[in-house]
Structure 1
Amino acid sequence: MHATTGNDAPTITIPTTHNGPDGSGNGGYSAGLLAARLTDVGGPAVQVTLRVPPPLGRPLAVEAEPGVPLRLIDPEAADAKARLIAEAETVAAPDAPAVPGGFVDPAAAKEAEGRFAGLDLHPFPRCYSCGPERAEGEGLRLFAGRVRAGQGADGVGNTVACTWTPHPALDDGTGAVGLPDVWAALDCPGGWSSDVSGRPAVLGRITVQALRAPRVGAEHVIVGYLDSVEGRKIRTGSALYDADGQVLAQAWATWIALRG
């Protein structure tokens, strides 16, 4: 399911199956592929800024230069402004937790999935992370729905949750999920804490701190949190927990609402 390019390879290819909107890369997965050149699970946090929609299915150049962020370049871009796809750099993880309310227990998270707004209206129904049209094993199928009052999270009106049991197709060879898929798992649940159905948005910037890798076949919980909305900018947090409530990874993200 996931790319096999080594961390020192000069190019990255985003598989055609790993889209967000049709025809472009899932933001979290694409950012995670680039971040894997700078860190791994247990390593420093990385911030990735996506400049244009990541193209699928063709080699993209990784450019490293001292003193500037790592860059992902599309050498085939007809427009010079579209050549720079993304930039990545290691950063200190923010002091504030990505999800202030914390853990939602698995039973409540499972129940919240029935309120996933994307089941009724989804702007990108084949999204690798949250698309309901993706079959089991062909996408993550993360359906983060609203958490009810009393179900374990503060700031309930701003909180969504879902469960996640990683499919065997995500095994990185160690029984764990690889870093790009961890980033993909943290992506859309944060976005769905806002009104994605009524106001579609795409990932603009994401900072991820991956502490421990989720285990394939084990149940996990992902919680998304809406921090603020300022014009077209939507700021969210998301966190990945094991079934006992231990934080495995968390993300702070800025989404950009699409015009129109």
Structure 2
Amino acid sequence: MSNGEIVIDPAFEGPAGSAHGGYTCGTLAPYLSADAEITLRAPVPLGTALKLAPYDGGLALHDGPAVVAEGSSTRLADGAPEPPAFAEALAATASFAGLRSHPYPRCLGCGTGRTDAVALRLFPGPLGGRDLVAAVWYPGRDATAGGLIRPEFAWAALDCPGGWAAVRFGRVDRPAVLGRMAARLLEPIAAQSAHIVVGWLAGVSGRKLTAGSALYSRDGVLQGFSRQTWITVAEPGTRS
């Protein structure tokens, strides 16, 4: 790849004051071959010119001299579960933990404090009898182009369900932030009035949580899946 520049618009916020992890990863993914895997080294600033440059066979994203993200190519195995029925996913949203208390209410993906057209408003709640969270996604106009889901929005939709699953099933009592994400989109993804997204916990190691997520059409056709690493926010006064 050649050197380039990207700017993440402030509308694509995740944790307060920084870019949404999934959207950022999805913005970088087209610069890589195969399944892209992006590691977020630091909060990615909003509204700032960031420099893209080749790095170790992949890419690096620089904020001035600091590297805020790195990307490489990988290969994902399909571990997506059997999807819930649309009615089950819709019912699960009523039990979304963020409706009671949300650490990042301005989050592009799952923020409860946003009603603007860009926001995904994905509210993943637990599915009865399964170790999954599920949500229904109604893609807005900004998420589509030519009747297809824009890839960076598909990555964004795959982000938050994995995080909420990791925190819930990992029995974590603090928020977590995305540290790494790899995804495969089974393109082209035809935009529908509604899609289903699920997330699950894959493992826990200290403050590190591994998770997965999958995107389906309304009638349960798999459209993409991801592998994620989340980092639990440290207690105040403790070493990170």
Give the TM-score taking structure 2 as reference length.
0.91
Matching residue within 41, 47, 68 for 2:57: 68
Instruction: For residue 9 of structure 1, report the CA deviation from its aligned partner.
Output: 7.3
What aligned pairs does 1:9-158 form with structure 2 within 5 A after superposition? 10-39=4-33, 44-65=34-55, 67-75=56-64, 83-93=66-76, 95-97=77-79, 99=80, 101-149=81-129, 156=130, 158=131
Q: What residue in structure 2 maps to residue 153 of structure 1? A: none
Instruction: For residue 71 of structure 1, report the CA deviation from its aligned partner.
Output: 0.6
Structure 2 residue 150 is the aligned partner of structure 1 residue 178: yes
How many angstroms apart in 1 are the aligned matches of 2:114 and 2:12?
A: 11
Q: What residue in structure 1 maps to residue 232 of structure 2? A: 257
Instruction: For residue 177 of structure 1, report the CA deviation from its aligned partner.
Output: 1.7
How many angstroms apart in 2 are the aligned matches of 1:92 and 1:195?
A: 26
Q: Deviations over 1:189-230 (max 9, x none)?
A: 110113368320000011100112443342210010111111
Amino acid at match of 1:86: A
After TM superposition, the structure 1 stretch with the greater mean CA deviation from structure 2, 216-225 or 109-118, is 216-225
Question: Alpha carbon RMSD of aligned pairs, Å?
Answer: 1.8
Q: Deviations over 1:86-120 (max 9, x none)?
A: 11111111x351x3x32111100000000000000
Q: Deviations over 1:226-255 (max 9, x none)?
A: 111110001100000012211100000000
Q: What residue in structure 1 maps to residue 198 of structure 2? A: 223
Matching residue within 164, 178, 193 for 1:192: 164
Q: Which structure is higher in strand share?
A: 2
What is the percent sequence identity of the aligned residues? Answer: 38
Gaps of 5+ in 2: 236-240
How many angstroms apart in 2 are the aligned matches of 1:211 and 1:8?
A: 26
How many angstroms apart in 2 are the aligned matches of 1:219 and 1:18?
A: 21
How many angstroms apart in 2 are the aligned matches of 1:213 and 1:255?
A: 28
Q: 1:215 to 1:134 in 2, by over 3 A?
A: farther
Contact 1:168 1:216 in 2 (8 A): no
Instruction: For residue 38 of structure 1, report the CA deviation from its aligned partner.
Output: 1.9
Give the TM-score taking structure 1 as reference length.
0.84
Q: Deviations over 1:148-177 (max 9, x none)?
A: 12xxxxxx1x310011121112222x1112
Q: What residue in structure 2 maps to residue 164 of structure 1? A: 137
